Structure 1
Amino acid sequence: MPTASKPQAGRVTADDNTRILDAALLQFQRVGVKKTTIEDVAREAGVDRVTVYRRIGSRDDLVTAVFSREVALVLAELALIPERHGNIGDLITDMFMTVLKLWRAHPVAQSMLTLEPERVVMKLSVHGADIFTMAVAATAAALERAVEREMLAPASDLTARAELACRVVHSLILLPHAALDLETDSQLEDFARGYLLPIITGHSA
């Protein structure tokens, strides 16, 4: 099967960052972060190792950049959801189910959870402040859009509500298996409407 030719190693192009992150994502999926080297990523991306260091940084910087980009893609998807709904219950349910399903279906996330679960936990918890802040900001923006569309009453604490909801979802991602059974669509929907919706609306279920 023919493949696109890679650029000559060492030549810096406008697409280097994307190519490097794509290559790192593939390597992380294949062997995990611990066994991935800058040389592996450079070879896969078709650039030299100096370009990787100059454009992204160390291996830890690569991990952070890859995680941040993948989270940003999910958050971009969330930004589109308010336009698809006319009531806040459907909106919150869709956002919650979208996040969990994308996480569960992400090949690199699941591969790394198998190969290096401690690294994933560290990146999303102790070293995950920037990523979490991105998630809260995106959720708050969706809630503000819901207010504009009159699905949600105006409130001065929308960001706080968004953060509380994100903390719940964050904990479900980091510790997916506990007493709660959240495998089916109906279970996810019941959870969103019963527990997240009251947080967002400020009213009990």
Structure 2
Amino acid sequence: MLEVSETNAVDTVEARILDAALVQFEKVGFRKTTIEDIARQAGVDRVTVYRRIGSRDDVVQAVVSREVAATLAELDELPAKHDNIDDLIADIFVTIIVKWRNHALVQRMLVLEPERLVTKLTIDGELTFTMSVAATASALRRAVSSGLVPEPTDLETRAELVCRVVHSMILAPYGQLRNADEQHLDAFARKFLVPIVTG
């Protein structure tokens, strides 16, 4: 069993590897990044990368999952900031769309390897989608416990429907909201997403 200090050391090494991978992916994309590039950037040998994280595909998945998890952790804090469900749903929606539009890795991959990014969100996207639904459902449960909305019997289904709308907007960022600012995104959420949760 690892001592606390040893556990922290492992976490630090893995964090360094993922940080290094993120830098490399933002520079040259997934396809052109090698395990050697990641190891060099992290200041470790390639065996350490394989042992701690795995293959390049494993590193890609770990980086993507960590970035998604960081955004979802922000969502977990939002229910405490609002005293009505409309504001909460709008804030969740705007936060996700704006973060997606401004995320350095996402924007770089849209230029370098759009097909790989789409694959990560579709064929290989079950884990991140499941994480998104779970985080949205958690935020809604907190809203229920705060008295912002009565608890529906199908809360998870409603959370999934909201996530599917967001997911489709990420995959197909054209249409009326292509260049919508935060005010228009907010209005969209209030008109179309709030009823999914409260209706």
Mark yes or no: TM-score above 0.5: yes
Verify: 1:99 aligned to 2:96, yes or no.
Answer: yes
Q: For residues 41-190 of structure 1, what are the structure 2 equivalents within 5 Å?
A: 41-190=38-187
Structure 2: unaligned runs, 5 residues or longer: 1-8
Q: TM-score w.r.t. structure 1 length?
A: 0.90
Q: Report if aligned partners of 1:181, 1:187 keep a CA contact under 8 Å in 2.
A: no
Q: Which residue is equivalent to 2:23?
A: 26
Displacement of 1:182 after TM fit? 4.8
> Contact 1:182–1:188 at 8 Å: present in 2 too?
no
**How large is the Cα RMSD of the aligned pairs?**
1.1
Q: Which runs of 5+ in 1 are unaligned?
A: 1-11
**Counterpart position of 1:201:** 198
Provide runs of 4+ in structure 1 moved above 2 Å: 178-182
The question of whether the paired residues in 1 share the 8 Å contact of 2:177 and 2:185 is answered with no
Q: Deviations over 1:47-94 (max 9, x none)?
A: 000000111111111110000000000000000000000000000000
Length-normalised TM-score, structure 2: 0.93
Confirm or deny that 1:15 pairs with 2:23: no
* Residues 25, 32 of structure 1: alpha-carbon distance in 2 compared, 3 angstrom cutoff: same
- Give the percent of matched residue pairs that are identical in Structure 1 and Structure 2: 58
Q: Identify if the C-alpha distance between structure 1 residues 188 and 194 changes in structure 2 by more than 3 Å, giving closer, same or farther.
A: same
In 2 relative to 1, CA 175–22 (structure 1 residues): closer, same or farther, beyond 3 Å?
Answer: same
Q: Which has the higher contact order (CA 8 A, sep 6+)?
A: 2
For the Cα contact (< 8 Å) 1:122–1:128, is it kept in 2?
A: yes
Partner amino acid for 1:142? A
Whole-angstrom distance in 1 between the partners of 2:17 and 2:172: 30
Q: 1:183 Cα deviation (Å)? A: 1.8
Return the offset for 1:181. 4.3
Name the structure where helix makes up a greater proportion of residues: 2
